[in-house]
Structure 1
Amino acid sequence: MTTFASTPTLISSVPELEAFLSSIPLSIRLIDVLVLGKSAFTTASNNGKTLKSIFEDLDIPKCLWDVRNDADALWALYDVGLAGVIDIQLLENASRTGDKTYVRGLDKSVQFDLKLGFMEINRWIRTKKEVVSLMAANVFASRPMNAKTVQYCANDVIHLPDLHALYLKRIQGDWLVKAKQESERRVAEAHSLGYEPQSPTKKLGPWGSGTERRVVTLDELLDELEQRREDDLARDIFGDDDEVGYYDYDDYDDDKLNSGDAVCPEAFDSCWDRNS
């Protein structure tokens, strides 16, 4: 399971960024786009690579959870066109054995799919709620950035490798192809002039219910029953009325909209200043 022992590093200077790009480590680093501006994407490493060139390289896989708003911001504000994207939210939806009508949020997948310990998942949720409660104060624009805010940002990516591996293991080949194609379509949609980041249709999966008849093995049936049991247990522990979901647009319940980045302007604008 992915973990980190100390507060992730916040890169806020060009020399730090050059060093990072020259030898990207297998650990979390947060790049301060608010301070660095466009140089965050155009600063080159020793081998000439920039974040822009990496993000736009079709042969370098980029894994995100619901790529749409990120792709929109990168394109509109920094002229960065994401390519080679695997949307892990789509992998989750495509790899389900049950109904696929609604996409699931990152919070729910971290809570229900990763088998994290109680204390670990509780810390993850507490950090998110604490920072969400401060968003009206524009905490993302404060410098130096509060350690809790840095942790909040890191928490949004720390579990993505494990979720990616989990869903790849359970997905069928034809659905993997569909997920990759839909990931590309999501990026193209986010680049379009008519893209609406607050659209209520974003809670919907791209394939309808996806529940055409198929043979289910005994192991698959037992896995699904176990997942339902764990979901019920998690709801008993954490509850359904989670205010975190309101502020995180990536977070949807399985059967209703439970979203946020688009609903909470501070969450989006503090990270991507549309006036810059």
Structure 2
Amino acid sequence: MATAAMSPILISTLPDLLSFISSISQSSTLYLDLEGNNLSRNGTLTIITVLIHPTRVTGLIDVQTLGNSAFTTPTSSGNTLKSILEDTRTTKRLWDVRNDADALWAHHQIRLAGVTDIQLLENASRAGDKTYVRGLDICVERDLGLNAMEVQRWTRTKREVKALMHNGIFARRPLDAKTMQYCVNDVLYLPALYSAYAKRTDGQWMKMVMDESERRVVDACGPSYEPQSEAKKLGPWGAGSGSGSGSGKRPLTLEEVLDRWEDQRVDEMERELLGHGDMDDASYWDNY
């Protein structure tokens, strides 16, 4: 399954920002990802990547350069990036919203709304054990039917930029092409992943995903949220046996055992390659 490569728009001036915001309609769906050094209340927020669906126009908003004006500068119709992010009528979809929501609230007093967390959708749609959530890396590799070259290109960029995160790669200006491609890659396949998981999720589970997505935002904006908590590996529904079929403990199937083994193997490989420096949240959680 190929997805056309996107040439991102780098948004580092107010005129470019206003032009980009004006292209977002209330009926648009926004696929979002945030980057920074240790992205959270304890770190920085430097870049917001926005893929506008269905046009697939993709913007990299340079928050480091624009500062708070990135969120508060209004268009001629009065819209701001803040008002769009907080509007429940504009659908936003992210992969693991928690540290993104935390950083937006802590640094810019923006409370995300209208969010569907695709990580939760994957967990809900999964047949069998739901104990642990999965990371974007492993789901892109497994769930989209990408050819080997597409996977290799995507993972190589991910790996190369992650290896530089301890040097504050997202704070360097001008942004280099590889860093920009990394940002694009984090939203590139989100529409396809959402579609794949939504097709195998019934209405009851979709409502649970929406409710849990909202709860994640509330928790992330709360005073007791811990951005690197080990508990973040756990899904909210335990060992459920399938989409819409309730929950309960049962023996794992062979496929589930192999899935867990593969999750652990990928995680161990990444740890060996990258170690655990001062990276953004993705570097630790991607393979869960």
TM-score normalised according to structure 1 size: 0.79
**Which whole-Å deviations, capped at 9, do the CAs of 1:218-250 have from their partners, x for residues lacking one?**
xxxxxx99x87x979xx6xx9664317997xxx
Structure 1 equivalent of residue 232 of structure 2:
202
Kindly indicate whether the alpha-carbon contact (under 8 Å) linking 1:12 and 1:32 is maintained by their aligned counterparts in 2.
yes
Does the alignment pair 1:8 with 2:21?
no
Kindly indicate whether the alpha-carbon contact (under 8 Å) linking 1:2 and 1:159 is maintained by their aligned counterparts in 2.
no
Task: Give the alignment of 1:20-59 within 5 angstroms.
Answer: 20-24=20-24, 26-59=56-89
Does the alignment pair 1:90 with 2:120?
yes
The whole-number CA distance in structure 1 between the counterparts of 2:273 and 2:214 is: 27
Structure 1 equivalent of residue 270 of structure 2:
243
Q: Secondary structure at the match of 2:215?
A: helix
Q: Secondary structure at the match of 2:93?
A: strand
Kindly indicate whether the alpha-carbon contact (under 8 Å) linking 2:93 and 2:115 is maintained by their aligned counterparts in 1.
yes
The whole-number CA distance in structure 2 between the counterparts of 1:213 and 1:145 is: 42
Displacement of 1:7: 3.8
Displacement of 1:266: 3.9
Percent of aligned pairs with the same amino acid: 55
Task: Give the alignment of 1:109-128 within 5 angstroms.
Answer: 109-128=139-158
Q: Secondary structure at the match of 1:170?
A: coil
The whole-number CA distance in structure 2 between the counterparts of 1:15 and 1:110 is: 35
**Which whole-Å deviations, capped at 9, do the CAs of 1:144-198 have from their partners, x for residues lacking one?**
1010000001111111111111111101221111111100100000010000001
Q: 2:172 aligns with which of 134, 139, 142?
A: 142
Greater helix proportion: 1
Q: Secondary structure at the match of 1:28?
A: strand
The whole-number CA distance in structure 2 between the counterparts of 1:20 and 1:212 is: 40
The whole-number CA distance in structure 2 between the counterparts of 1:245 and 1:90 is: 28
Structure 2 equivalent of residue 218 of structure 1:
none
Displacement of 1:14: 0.5
User: How many positions carry a matched residue from both structures?
Assistant: 242
Displacement of 1:46: 2.7
The whole-number CA distance in structure 2 between the counterparts of 1:245 and 1:58 is: 41
Change (3 A) 1:168 1:244: farther
Q: Let me know the Cα RMSD of the aligned residues.
A: 3.0
Amino acid at match of 2:269: D
Greater strand proportion: 2
Structure 2 equivalent of residue 105 of structure 1:
135
TM-score normalised according to structure 2 size: 0.76
**Which whole-Å deviations, capped at 9, do the CAs of 1:2-60 have from their partners, x for residues lacking one?**
74445422111111001111124532111001111111111222321111111101111
The whole-number CA distance in structure 1 between the counterparts of 2:57 and 2:147 is: 21
Kindly indicate whether the alpha-carbon contact (under 8 Å) linking 1:99 and 1:209 is maintained by their aligned counterparts in 2.
yes
Q: Give unmatched runs, 5+ long, in structure 2.
A: 25-54, 246-252, 282-288
Change (3 A) 1:2 1:186: farther
Kindly indicate whether the alpha-carbon contact (under 8 Å) linking 1:132 and 1:244 is maintained by their aligned counterparts in 2.
no
Kindly indicate whether the alpha-carbon contact (under 8 Å) linking 2:201 and 2:244 is maintained by their aligned counterparts in 1.
no
The whole-number CA distance in structure 2 between the counterparts of 1:194 and 1:6 is: 38
Change (3 A) 1:101 1:246: farther
The whole-number CA distance in structure 1 between the counterparts of 2:223 and 2:111 is: 14
Q: Secondary structure at the match of 2:128?
A: coil
Q: Give unmatched runs, 5+ long, in structure 1.
A: 216-223, 248-259, 269-276
Structure 1 equivalent of residue 17 of structure 2:
17
The whole-number CA distance in structure 2 between the counterparts of 1:34 and 1:151 is: 18
Kindly indicate whether the alpha-carbon contact (under 8 Å) linking 1:93 and 1:205 is maintained by their aligned counterparts in 2.
yes
Change (3 A) 1:246 1:29: farther
The whole-number CA distance in structure 2 between the counterparts of 1:267 and 1:93 is: 23
Amino acid at match of 1:125: T
Change (3 A) 1:111 1:170: same
Amino acid at match of 1:265: D
Displacement of 1:264: 4.6
Structure 1 stretches of at least 4 aligned residues deviating more than 2 Å after TM superposition: 1-7, 211-215, 238-242, 244-247, 263-268
Structure 2 equivalent of residue 157 of structure 1:
187
The whole-number CA distance in structure 1 between the counterparts of 2:6 and 2:96 is: 27
The whole-number CA distance in structure 1 between the counterparts of 2:273 and 2:225 is: 21
